[in-house]
Chains A and B, each alone.
Chain A
Amino acid sequence: MLAKPLLEDILLAGLSTGGDFAEVFVEDRFSTILSMIGGKVDSGVSGRDYGIGVRILKGTNYVYAYTNDYSRDNLIKVAKEAAAAISPETISRNITLSFMKDEPLLINPIRIYPHEIVKQDKVSLMARAYHAAKEYDPVISQVMVRYFDEDQKVQIANSLGLYVEDQRVRTRTAITAIASKGPEKQSGTYAPGAHMGFEFYDNIKIEDYAQEAARIATTMIHAPYAPSGRIPVIIDNEFGGVIFHEACGHSLEATSVAKKTSVFADKLGEKIASSVVSAVDDGTIPNAWGSLNVDDEGHVSQRNLLIEAGVLKGYMVDLYNGRRMNVPATGNSRRQSYKFAPTSRMTNTFILPGSHTREEIIASTEYGLFARYMGGGSVNPATGEFNFAVNEGYMVRNGKLAEPVRGATLIGQGSDVLLKIDMVADNLACGQGMCGSISGSLPADVGQPTIRVSEMIVGGRKGDK
């Protein structure tokens, strides 16, 4: 971490050509990745990322510079180069910075730091997961377990006098089970994680997740291909929330709203979803995977209402895009590391509970697809077109779950699918994902109760209906 007088000098060098805002982000991160295949640890890597990012704004002009040479001379040089890029003139100004140290509300307390646990204990955890998945069914031919933890310390200071230190500890274990039948292979994955230390594994039973991964693979290896066509789709709770994340969430980030490249730009107060849909982005859930104490601009994390009863209520906004939109930042500014300039991103984003139950939704569906587990997806924010994969699907016939089906992809248009959500259940749950966008790959929770979309395009391989 850097001393305050040096931070001040960097900020002043950054403002030396007339910039109106300067910010320094210092990151010191220790991380460990262990991978196990076939019950044996085949690689272990740990290490330290360390670097400094300097950002300068002048109106809506924007310069970002980063380095991991942390000598005073180099940092001042980098700040001056960045300043020269924002404007060629030199302005002599008398600025005094008085940092107000913010003590961020610690919403993600950590009990057991990664370095306090010996590697062998991490490996024992992985072995438990491996055995639980491998022994689930004879068709499970391979199991991969990947363990990850990180301890990221950051220091954020800006020319408005903000000074914040924060420490983020995250833990995650991903289990992938592969089922084989002749030449065919199908996989199932579960990857629980939290903004928490090793105590996370006291709260959950890793075997349950491993068995669930194995159950998905086992179910899918015996499943025929999904049909194609436009049919009702029930999307189950937890990771099913990836639909909202892709279909709507990305298009509510200021990154695309400020430039009006989003389909939801200029739509505040308008009905953009069916009236059974309310949704939030909430970075304040204690120890959730996507939660923050402060965001990467040093703003305190918030719970932001996005949609209320179908009406668009708010966007996720960072400081820079807030300038274009003329609104304050919402605690959503995030970056993968000092190698990325921060921008508006999701934290934990989910649809709020409704009044139905999962059973009622299935019972009232004559024919359709039930998506038990979703894979990842993506969206084009300009057109709103999204796609995502169904990892475990079932046909629904006459109000009952029927045979499992594999290989289904759901596609559609965000603005369209939100209006077609006609039932929302009461069983809200969240799942963990890594979300990729211009400021890098970030931990984010997606979530929802079980929902039904009255009609969606299901892309399968079987031509029948």
Chain B
Amino acid sequence: MEVKVFAEKLFAAGREMGFDAMEAYVASRNLFRVGVFKSEIDSYTLAQSRGLSFRGLINGRMGYSFTENLSADSVALLVDDARANAAVIDSEDPEEIFGGSPEATYADICSFSPALEQVLAAEKITWVKEVEQKAYGLDVRVSTVQVSLGNSSGETMLMNTKGLNLAHQGNFADGYVAAVVKEGEDTKSAYAFFSSRDFSRFDPATLAKEAVEEAISLLGAASIESGQYPVLLRHDVAGEFLATFASSFSAEAVQKGLSLLKDKQGEQIMSSNITIIDDPHMPERPNSAPFDAEGVATAAKEVVLAGRLMTLLHNLKTAKKDGVNSTGNAYKMAFNAPVTVAPTNLYIQPGKRDYADLVAHIEHGLIIIAVQGTHSGANPVSGDFSLSAYGYLVRGGQVVRPVNQVTIAGNFFKMLSDVQEVGNDLHFKMGSIAAPSLLIGSLAVSGK
């Protein structure tokens, strides 16, 4: 059934059941992905999907339900389910179906490239095979290469009984090159990630080289003596740290007692060389959108300015509770998830020094190029982390050898209060949270 017709029927059924205000949130997506292994297509995905999430206020409580089956018999199921879910809610925080931000505040963001839709499947297959071939050709020690390339397009629609009617369309392409290299019994692997709306930016030779060279550079890695070391977190690792602890900036986490940033607004929480920005209008990023998951107009904001906490991120519910305005950070993890709070495109503002310059700065320390297990070895509530890591040992400003089988441990906020230098190498590669390389004064490293 056509979405708008379905929504009309849904709202009519909901009114009859006693809902005061209702919203239909619809996400549709088309997806293509191809992967190659030894010149054969070993994965090829074509997909189309559409889901509708319903929520509504009944007796002052918000009930949620969803379906991927937009047939007439789903209407009754949706309103019944939402009513039953609303009935068990006993949180007293008021929720609302939003009437809309001032028209002019909805930014005009173009997230759709017609050119990307014109790239033929055959071109993408050729591209993937070329990357694979180039990677194998770079070094005899390359044992396996996996290349994956995909693109997706989609539309998000939000309609409610308060007259709000919003839609945003987008498309995007991304993928990775994974290289495994072997020398005797020593095996190492590395990835090169890429993403853009412009397919012509993906250069096979550059990406193959990035993955293979990094994997080769790790051969012969060994652990080091445990101790305190100055540590350079390469940009991707610094970004992963920010992503892991980004929930600290959510007002929802603060209100629920799940963040250390309670009552910290206006205070110095990090080094003065750290500024963190959430910008939902970056033209290149797939997360950019004129409205958030509740239909509130989005806007860029400084979350941390020169180390001081400027604002938490809010949706309508958390804003009302704190007596402030929503920052346009309402978020749904998937079309069918409840509304929470999350950043859109969050990044640490780059500094002036390039990566090589930062390395040259290290007398005796480590460069960390990957951490593992952030889902288990890092605690977003306490800020504590202890993570498996690898990278390189640096002496006298020179990379001496690769290092693995070590952990780095500390506390996220203490670590960001000990930032000696901020690099100029901010790159969004995967995901929507990024940072430039950061030189940390001292971290606990466990090894031998």
What is the CA–CA distance of A47 and B335 in the complex, to the nearest angstrom? 11
Residues of B within 8 A of A389 (CB): 373, 376-377, 386
Q: What is the interface size of chain B, counting residues whose CB is below 8 A from a CB of the partner?
A: 78
Residues of A within 8 A of B226 (CB): 228-229, 463
Taken residue by residue from 204 to 242, chain B's Cβ proximity to chain A (1 for < 8 Å, 0 otherwise) reads as 000000000000000000010011100000000000000
Q: Which of B323-331, B399-407, B428-436 forms contacts with chain A?
A: B399-407
**Interface presence of A230 (CB below 8 A):** yes
- The answer to whether residues A47 and B373 also contact, given A187-B379, A387-B388, A461-B386 and a CB cut-off of 8 A, is no
Q: Which of A194-202, A283-291, A298-306, A403-411 forms contacts with chain B?
A: A403-411
What is the CA–CA distance of A316 and B344 in the complex, to the nearest angstrom? 39
Taken residue by residue from 118 to 136, chain A's Cβ proximity to chain B (1 for < 8 Å, 0 otherwise) reads as 1110110000000000000
Residues of B within 8 A of A376 (CB): 373, 375-376
What is the CA–CA distance of A412 and B406 in the complex, to the nearest angstrom? 9
Q: Which chain A residue has the least Cβ–Cβ distance from B448? A: A230
Please state if B187 and A65 are interface contacts (CB–CB under 8 Å): no
**Interface presence of A185 (CB below 8 A):** yes
Interface SS majority for chain A: strand
Please state if B43 and A64 are interface contacts (CB–CB under 8 Å): yes
Please state if A63 and B260 are interface contacts (CB–CB under 8 Å): no
Cβ-neighbour of A229 out of B49, B69, B74, B446 (below 8 A): B446
8 Å CB interface, B119-168 against A: 121, 143-144, 146
CB distance from B434 to the nearest CB of A (A): 21
Residues of B within 8 A of A70 (CB): 69
**Interface presence of B381 (CB below 8 A):** yes
**Interface presence of B308 (CB below 8 A):** no
**Interface presence of B77 (CB below 8 A):** yes
**Interface presence of A82 (CB below 8 A):** yes
What is the CA–CA distance of A112 and B276 in the complex, to the nearest angstrom? 50
Q: Which of B12-20, B82-90, B192-200, B281-289 forms contacts with chain A?
A: B82-90
**Interface presence of A385 (CB below 8 A):** yes
What is the CA–CA distance of A44 and B66 in the complex, to the nearest angstrom? 11
Q: What is the interface size of chain A, counting residues whose CB is below 8 A from a CB of the partner?
A: 85
Q: Which of A89-97, A101-109, A255-263 forms contacts with chain B?
A: A255-263
Cβ-neighbour of A119 out of B47, B48, B85, B337 (below 8 A): B85
Taken residue by residue from 33 to 72, chain B's Cβ proximity to chain A (1 for < 8 Å, 0 otherwise) reads as 0000100111111111111010000000001111111000
Taken residue by residue from 383 to 411, chain A's Cβ proximity to chain B (1 for < 8 Å, 0 otherwise) reads as 11111110000000000000000111101
**Interface presence of B118 (CB below 8 A):** no
**Interface presence of A138 (CB below 8 A):** no
What is the CA–CA distance of A119 and B85 in the complex, to the nearest angstrom? 7
CB distance from B223 to the nearest CB of A (A): 7
**Interface presence of A375 (CB below 8 A):** yes
Residues of A within 8 A of B92 (CB): 40
**Interface presence of B369 (CB below 8 A):** no
Please state if A375 and B444 are interface contacts (CB–CB under 8 Å): no
What is the CA–CA distance of A417 and B78 in the complex, to the nearest angstrom? 51
Taken residue by residue from 57 to 81, chain A's Cβ proximity to chain B (1 for < 8 Å, 0 otherwise) reads as 0011111111111100000001001
CB distance from A114 to the nearest CB of B (A): 12
Please state if B376 and A78 are interface contacts (CB–CB under 8 Å): no
What is the CA–CA distance of A86 and B34 in the complex, to the nearest angstrom? 12
**Interface presence of A326 (CB below 8 A):** no
- The answer to whether residues A61 and B46 also contact, given A43-B89, A47-B66, A378-B373 and a CB cut-off of 8 A, is no
**Interface presence of A184 (CB below 8 A):** yes
Cβ-neighbour of A457 out of B42, B46, B382, B407 (below 8 A): B407
Cβ-neighbour of A82 out of B46, B51, B189 (below 8 A): B46
Additional A-B contact list (9), CB under 8 Å, known A44-B89, A85-B46, A409-B388? A47-B64, A48-B77, A61-B44, A66-B46, A144-B256, A387-B388, A457-B405, A459-B407, A460-B444
**A-B pairs, 3 with minimum CB distance:** A459-B407, A387-B388, A47-B66
Q: List 13 A-B contacts (CB under 8 A).
A: A35-B338, A46-B84, A64-B44, A65-B45, A120-B88, A178-B257, A187-B382, A376-B373, A376-B375, A382-B187, A387-B387, A406-B384, A411-B407
